[in-house]
Structures are given as C-alpha cells and as structure tokens.
Chain A
Amino acid sequence: MKMAPISRQAILDRIRKATGGGAPDVAGSYAGLHRDYVRAGKLGAEERIALMIERLREYDAEVVETAPDSLAEATQGQLAASGRRRFVAPAGLPAEWLAEGFEWQIDRGLSTAEIEQAEGVVTAAFCGIADSGTIVLHHSAAEGRRIISLLPDWHLCVLRASQVVETLPEYFARCSEAPVLATYISGPSATADIEMTRIKGVHGPRFLHVIVVRDDVTAR
C-alpha cells in the first residue's frame, strides 16, 4: 500500500491529460444535461396504490390493506397466519405494532446469532414505488439496521399509502438528502441463474408480506 499515493497522482495525471483537464465549469455542464424522461406519474391516488399492490403481488409478495386504526389487528393477523413465534423488531418500531402473544426481540445491538434465531422481522419503510413494486428502506430507527431485514426468512413491512409514489424519479424527488444507507427491495430474493428459471428465495427473506395502511394520501 506504500506505492498507492504515487499511483494516485499518476492515474489522475493520465486522466487529466486524456480529458484535457475537463470542463471549466463542471457544475454548469452537469446542470445543462438533457433529462427529458418522465418524472411525474399520471395516476390518481387510488390507481397508484392499486398498481403498487398489483406489482408486489406479481413478485409473490403477500399484501393486505388496512385502515390506520386497525393496523394492530392487521399486524396481529399476519404474524399469527405465519405460524411463527420469534420476531425481531427495530428499536424505533411503534410499540402498538408489537402484537401480543409473540416473542419479540428488540434490536438494540442484537448479535448476528440472536438475529439468526428469529423467524421473522417487522419493519416500517421509507417509500414504496408503484411502477416497479419496490420497497425502499433508508434504515431509520423504525426501518432498522440492514441485518435485521436480511437474515430472518420472513419479512413483514408496513407501508403507508401516503408513502407510495408512482415513478422512481418521484422517489428521488422525495429525498431531500441522499440517504447514507438504502436498500431497494423488489420482491423476495430470487435467481434465474439455472436455465433462466426464476427461483424465489436464495439468501434474503423468502417471504415478503406488506401491510398497506390506507392513511390520508394527501398528507405527507
């Protein structure tokens, strides 16, 4: 690694020579790039949420809808139907989501072995992108560390209707700052490496469940 600084300068010199130093005003040149693709979606709120649900189901995710005041029952129902008992939850998950009658491990620095013991995980989400059926995690306190939505085989994600956008650019428009960590989930882990046959569940959770909370989509 001692030689690395020398290479750094040599590589940068070669690049600068190759590009003639680059544009005098990089920011200006960047701002002038044409971006004529579609940014905003054209669906109404109901259609947007219907599309999100349709796309999630295409990925074999199980989706249920619920009114905000019956979220606790919906969560309870999903957990019970899973036939699983031990769940892990991020430290910032609202207390009312932690249904009774199950074993909860709250992640305040759980070890890998402890998380590996869990049969499922419940998290919130940052955003849902209807066009591709994508769930976005920015790993805030209610979305949890990356490891907890990875090791357990069963993932229940609670998504509010007001978090659902239609297009990918609309998600980016909602990011006032770039996230430090982000995971984009479009259906359960999958592979098509053997004869292009799609197989669900390689390493990530094999079962993705989504509860769509029908909150007021006009409120953000």
Chain B
Amino acid sequence: MRPPANEGHPVLDPVLAAPFPQAAFTVLRNTQLRKNVAHATDVIQGKRNRLVAEKADWQELRSAASAVRTHVLENLGHYLEQFEERCTAAGGTVHWAKDAAEARAIILDILREEQASEVIKIKTMTSAEIQLNPAIEAAGIKAFETDLAEIILQLGDDEPSHIVVPALHVNRTQVREIFARKMNLPELSDDPKELTAAARTFLREKFLRVPTAISGANFLIAETGSVVIVESEGNGRMCLTLPRTMITLAGIEKVIPRFHDLEIMLQVLARSATGERMNPYSSLWTGVTPGDGPQRFHVVLLDNGRSDILARRGERQTLKCIRCGACQNTCPVYRQTGGHAYGSPYAGPIGAILTPQLMHLEHAQTLPYASSLCGACYEVCPVKINIPEVLIDLRAQVTDKERDEERRFFDPMYLGMRIANFIFASAGRFRLAQRMGRLGLRLFTRNDGWIHSLPSLGARWTMTRDLRGLPDETFREWWAARDRKGE
C-alpha cells in the first residue's frame, strides 16, 4: 500500500483521488501551472495543425488507422495468440496479467530472478496505471526513469500530467530548482540546453551500469512478434539495447496485425503527438537477437479492465487509442486544468472515458462530466474515437447506477428528476406546474426580463449566468387563444 500522499502531491490513483470538480478547483487557482499548460499545448497544437494541413491524405490515413484498430479489437484473441506464438518463437517470454496486482507480481518475480537492485525505465503510462514504481521501491529495488520529463517528475516528487509530454506543467525555473537540488549542481542555469545536458550526464552512467530495463510499448506486431517503441531522446534506444534483460509491459489492446500496418500508424502518431513528420527515433525488435541487445526478453500483457471495455459495444472504441495526446492539447477543459485534476495517469478527454471504465465505474464517475462535449477531441483523434459519444454513454451509465443507490434517494438532483418525471407524465400536471413556475419565478424576475440570482439550489445556475424570465403566456395558451379568436 502506498503511504498517504504528501501535501500538494498530485494523486493519480483514481481510487484515492478527489472528484474532478474539486481537484480542478484547486488547480484553477494555480496561475503558474495554467500558464505552463497553456504555453505547451499551444505550441504542440500549432505544430500539429501545420503538419496535418500539409498532408493531403490525412482523412484517408485517419480512416485507415481507425479501420485497422477496429479490426484488431474485433479479433483481439486471434492477434494476441499470434503475437505470443511469434514472440516466443523469437526467444521472448510472454506473461499474461489479469489486473494491476498480477502485473506487479510478475514483474517483481522477474526482477528477483535477475537479482536486480536497480532498474532503468522508458516512459510508460501503463506502468503508472499499475503503480509499478512504488511496488518496485517497496521491494528494495531502485527504479530510474530515463525520459527527461519523467526524470523531472521523479526527482521533483511529482506526477505525469500529459501522456506525451508528462512534465508540461513544469517550467524551466522549476526544473532548474529540482535538478540543482537533486543532482547537487548549485551552479546550474535555467537554460533548457544546460538542463538537458545535466540529465544526459546523470543518466549516462546508469545506462551503462544497470542491467535491467522496463518499457511500455507503442505497438505489438502480431505477424512477427515484434515490439515497437516510438521516442525522441534516445533513452528508449539505450534501455532496449544496453541491458541484459528487458521487460515490456503492454496493454492487450496495443497489438496491430502486420508490420506493414506501421505505414499508417507511424504517420498518424508522430504528427498527432508532437507535430513532427516523424519522431526522432523509432525502434523495432523481435524477441532476442544473439549478440545484439538484451538476451532475456519478457512481455507482460495487461488486461486490467480492458476486456470489460471490449465487451461494451459503444465504448469499445476507447481501446483504439494509440496514446498520442492530441485530444488533451485541444481540449478546452484540459487546457485550463492540466492533467493532475483527472486523478489518473490518463488525463484529458481520453482519460475522461478510459479511467472510469478501467475502474469499472466504481471510481472517477465525475470524469465523464469533465467535458463541454464540444467535439474538438473527436476531430483531432487520429484513430477517430468518438469521445463525445462515449462520454454521453458513460454519463448515462453513471446516472443509471447512482439513481438506484438507496443513499441517493433524497439527493436533490434525483429527487428533482423524479418530480419532473411525475409532472411530465400528465398534461394537466404539466400545465399546472407551468402556471405555478411562472408565478414563482416572477418574484425573482427583474424589470429587464432576466433572473440574475436565484436562492438555494437555483443559485448554482445563476452564480455564473443569468436566466431568462418565463414569458406571460405559453405557446399552448397562445395557440388556444388564437383558436378562440377564430383566426
């Protein structure tokens, strides 16, 4: 069990995290963080939009990417078994983990077998999802993150707030402060170049020394049993080339059918994620290659709620996600709150649909409401996940579930809904309610015809917006009167 979080330390465990509106409220007062997030998302979006615009076949690429991902999910069992067979034939070992606890146990077993005292890691959100680092540390093994952003977070005792650029909420001054303190470099300046060089030196020795590495995966290729990792810095290449043993943790949805499908995926991923025609480094490897790279290779296939999502027809599309983060950069909600308010390593629109489902709707039920349903996320999604559709679906499920809870019987919203249901069920009751409502609201309607403030529950509406007063006559009344006049 993880110790209680420090004051101000972001909680990315959906079981423990505060509901979104509460967490967001705290963040909204942090102007520095909002500035950092706005700057970073503006820059990525600008680059992404430019590079997408130059691609005449962008929509065809999106459609093809979506079709391939949909096909994989429809035949997931087939492709996973094929991946397992080919990866095993190439010298890899494939493990299956039904949940986070099992995945942690499998990885810890491998680390013990390797007698590892240290491990180097390539950025993986899946590892954050199963809270791997605390488990590794609890077993007395030191985990070193090697992605620059992850290092900033690990040394700064912080948590990721974006899928692709996890430290986008931290600015150079803050990075300088963390590095100067933790790397013992008091003379360090806040020049990103110098900060990057400090990280290079700090990590170089670890790459050369630590014989065990853990990674995530961008794609698993069923046809060949290969794994693909897409990155920028080269820390990934270091981790998957130098160590003796490599452990790859991958969600079961990460598989694609054939090597040639990468011609779609690599094109849409790089443009969507970082606004590049191609990211600086992509690596593909297949099991174990004698004399080249790790000679022991494990893949841990993680379910952890994914097969449940697969079973729900409307929500299945959530699993098409290739983790590009484009929906986060474009989301008007994420751009205000940053990632931590979502209480999960998966923030933004994709997090709003993925996290509650991974939690079987037992936790994070406020996340489907963390959206204005503007549809910007759907528009940029390279695999065409209709996020607003899934959000609405999940809202319905959350409501259906809550309504039947006994303790919610006197919840004002559900009480109101039951009353509304009673009124709307009869024309007479509806007419009566209209008349009463008009009378009641007249008390609050000013001379300009607007209601500026309501008492009690109504105040939650008028706190941020005005409400038009009800007209003196309803349409039905007007219609009936018109008939009588014989017009």
A interface list, Cβ under 8 A from B: 1, 3-4, 7-8, 10-12, 14-19, 21-23, 26, 29-30, 33-38, 55, 59, 109, 112, 116, 129, 131-134, 139, 145-147, 150, 168-169, 171-172, 175, 178-197, 199, 201-204
Contact status A196-B43, CB under 8 Å: yes
Task: List 24 A-B residue pairs with CB atoms under 8 Å apart, sorted by A's residue number.
Answer: A1-B109, A4-B97, A11-B96, A11-B303, A29-B75, A36-B60, A37-B57, A38-B57, A147-B293, A179-B284, A181-B293, A182-B284, A184-B283, A185-B281, A186-B280, A188-B280, A193-B149, A194-B148, A194-B171, A194-B195, A203-B203, A204-B233, A204-B237, A204-B280
Q: How far is the CA of A179 from the CA of B283 in the complex (A)?
A: 11
B310 touching A4 by the CB < 8 A rule?
no
Q: Which residues of A contact B235 (CB under 8 A)?
A: 202-203
B contact face: mostly helix, strand, loop, or mixed: helix
Check: B445 CB closer than 8 A to any chain A CB.
no
Q: What residues on A are CB-neighbors of B281 within 8 Å?
A: 183-186, 189, 204
A131 to B266 CA separation, bound complex (whole angstroms): 13
For A38, A182, A195, the residue with the greatest tally of chain B CB atoms inside 10 Å of its CB is A195
Checking B78, B238, B263 against A150 with a beta-carbon cut-off of 8 angstroms, the contacting residue is: B238
B64 touches A168 (CB 8 A): no
Q: How far is the CB of A151 from chain B (nearest CB, A)?
A: 8
Residues of A within 8 A of B152 (CB): 193-194
B67, B175, B260: which contacts A194 (Cβ < 8 A)? Answer: B175
Which B244-284 residues have a C-beta within 8 angstroms of A? 252, 257-260, 262-264, 266-267, 270, 274, 276-284
Instruction: Give every chain B residue within 8 A of A133 (Cβ-Cβ).
Output: 277-278
Asked if B95 CB lies within 8 Å of chain A CBs, one says: yes
A195 to B277, CA, bound (A): 20
Residue of B56, B60, B172, B252 near A11 (CB, 8 A) is B252
B98 proximity list for chain A (CB < 8 A): 7, 10-11
Contact A116 B208 (CB under 8 A): yes
Within 8 A of A (CB), among B324-380: none
* CA–CA, A38 and B293, complex, Å: 35
CA distance A72 to B281 in the complex (A): 28
Which chain B residues lie closer than 8 Å to A37 at the CB level?
57, 60-61, 64, 264, 267
Contact of A195 among B57, B192, B257 (CB under 8 A): B192
List the A residue with the shortest CB-CB distance to B146.
Answer: A203
The answer to the question of B68 belonging to the interface, with a C-beta cut-off of 8 Å to chain A, is: yes
Q: Within B55-104, which residues are at the interface with A (CB < 8 Å)? A: 56-57, 60-61, 63-64, 67-68, 71, 73-78, 80-81, 90, 95-98, 102
Contact at A36–B63, with CB atoms within 8 Å? yes
> In the assembly, what is the distance between CA of A105 and CA of B140, in Å?
40
Is the CB–CB distance between A186 and B192 below 8 Å?
no
Pair B233/A19 contact, Cβ less than 8 Å: no
A49 to B40, alpha carbons, bound, how many Å?
A: 34
Query: Which residue from chain A places its CB closest to the CB of B93 in the assembled complex?
Result: A1
B454 located at the interface, meaning its Cβ lies under 8 Å from any Cβ of chain A in the complex: no
Question: Across the two chains, which residue of chain B brings its CB closest to A202?
Answer: B233
**Inter-chain contacts of A168 with B (CB < 8 A):** 263, 266-267, 278
User: Counting CB contacts under 8 A, is B224 at the interface?
Assistant: yes
A20's nearest neighbour on chain B, judged by CB, is B74
CA distance A194 to B193 in the complex (A): 9
Contact string against A for B residues 136-164, beta-carbon threshold 8 Å, 1 for contact and 0 otherwise: 00000000001111001000000000000
In the bound complex, residues from chain A placing their C-beta under 8 Å from that of B80 are 12, 15
Q: Indicate if the CB atoms of B200 and A192 lie closer than 8 Å.
A: no
Residue of A nearest to B123 (CB): A193
In the assembled complex, the CB of B97 is this many whole angstroms from the nearest CB of chain A, namely: 6
Given the interface pairs A15-B80, A30-B257, the reply to whether A7 lies near B234 with Cβ below 8 Å is no
